[in-house]
Amino acid sequence: MIALIAGAAGQLGRALQATAPAGATVIAPDEARFDILDAAAVDAIIAETRPTHLFNAAAYTAVDKAETDADTAHRVNATAVATLATAARAHGAKLVHISTDFVFDGTASTPYPPDATPNPLGLYGATKRAGETAALANPDALIVRTAWVYAAKGNNFVHTMLRLMRERPELRVVADQVGTPTHATGLARALWALAAANARGIFHWTDAGVCSWYDFAVAIQEEALALGLLATAIPILPIRTTDYPTPARRPAYSVLDKTDTWALTGPALPWRAELRLCLQDIRDAA
């Protein structure tokens, strides 16, 4: 397998490089060399490197900023995906594209299967849904929706919580948005496995289990205290979404049904076990 990665410096891009299977050749250019907005550059780099697989880990991921920057978000999350889908097809490479639980409106009360009807609440989700449609124009494309992604390096909820838990006397965290955290390392391994199985169409991947952002924050504090990453516990108080307004609306329930994926990859670890692994990496890197 020759894997070309777009967005190699992001959380998932780095995890894909760290978990590449034995025998895979990984090509991970930086964004200056592989800007997915540059159709000519995309075509040239694929022609030059001749990948069997094109992983698109690049995205516009600033959910709230997308509300006032819809044009850029759409160009990165949808228009560029159409470019990648066409180029992959022209060069005989398999496109592996990543999408999000934010394509759903969160009104369900049981996990969303891959064929559930999308209805994004915000601009980010709408651009990611448009990207799915663009990728699906390539019949061989694999699209994997995930949620609440974090990694030892990157801008994510785990690092934000660790910082605030050191700075603040107490924290208030939303308790009425429910989903599942996803450690980028486990997601990357799942993508390699799905690609090797030549899966096509839409699949779902998160860690196992369900929690609220409040539950996640409490677990981060407990595990970080146990690992010595935090010195003292602070009170963490559950609040409602209406008490913490954000520019973009977010789904209240975004648990994804992973049955089809796990039949090919085996089950994910429970989210708390993955959290512990990530915090161990953060501690070891400190």
Ligand X SMILES: NC(=O)C1=CN([C@@H]2O[C@H](COP(=O)(O)OP(=O)(O)OC[C@H]3O[C@@H](n4cnc5c(N)ncnc54)[C@H](O)[C@@H]3O)[C@@H](O)[C@H]2O)C=CC1
Q: Annotated active-site positions, please? A: 124
Site for ligand X in 140-169 (CB under 6 A): 146-149, 154
Site for ligand X in 201-220 (CB under 6 A): none
37 part of the interface to ligand X, by CB under 6 A? yes
Task: Out of 11, 221, 254, 265, name the contact with ligand X by CB under 6 A.
Answer: 11
* Contact by Cβ (8 Å): 127, 60: yes
- Total residues contacting ligand X by CB under 6 A comes to 25
Q: What is the C-alpha to C-alpha distance for residues 134 and 272, in angstroms, rounded to an integer?
A: 34
Task: Out of 58, 126, 188, 191, name the contact with ligand X by CB under 6 A.
Answer: 58
What end-to-end distance do the CA atoms of the chain give, in Å? 34
Task: Out of 5, 16, 54, 57, name the contact with ligand X by CB under 6 A.
Answer: 57
Q: What is the C-alpha to C-alpha distance for residues 48 and 44, in angstroms, rounded to an integer?
A: 6
* Contact by Cβ (8 Å): 236, 175: no
Q: What is the C-alpha to C-alpha distance for residues 84 and 126, in angstroms, rounded to an integer?
A: 19
- In this structure, the dihedral spanned by the alpha carbons of residues 63, 65, 66 and 69, taken in order and rounded to 10 degrees, is -170
Closest CB 232 distance from ligand X, rounded Å: 28
Closest CB 206 distance from ligand X, rounded Å: 9
Task: Out of 61, 177, 261, 265, name the contact with ligand X by CB under 6 A.
Answer: 61
Which segment (55-63, 229-237, 244-252, 277-285) binds ligand X by CB under 6 A?
55-63
**Amino acid letter, 278:** C
Which segment (1-9, 81-89, 226-234, 260-268) binds ligand X by CB under 6 A?
1-9
Q: Is 212 exposed, middle or buried (0-12, 13-18, 19+ CB in 10 A)?
A: middle
Which is nearest to 111 in space by CA: 1, 262, 275?
A: 262
**Closest residue to ligand X using C-beta atoms:** 10
Binding track over 72-91 against ligand X, x by CB under 6 A = ----x---------------
* Contact by Cβ (8 Å): 239, 173: yes
Which is nearest to 176 in space by CA: 103, 242, 266, 249?
A: 242
Give the pair of three-digit tokens for residue 198.
């030549």
Task: Out of 3, 4, 5, 12, name the contact with ligand X by CB under 6 A.
Answer: 12
Which segment (4-12, 108-116, 135-143, 216-224) binds ligand X by CB under 6 A?
4-12
Give the pair of three-digit tokens for residue 229.
């990453």
Task: Out of 59, 66, 78, 275, name the contact with ligand X by CB under 6 A.
Answer: 59
9 part of the interface to ligand X, by CB under 6 A? yes
- Enumerate binding residues for ligand X (CB under 6 A): 6-7, 9-12, 31, 34-37, 57-61, 76, 98, 100, 128, 146-149, 154
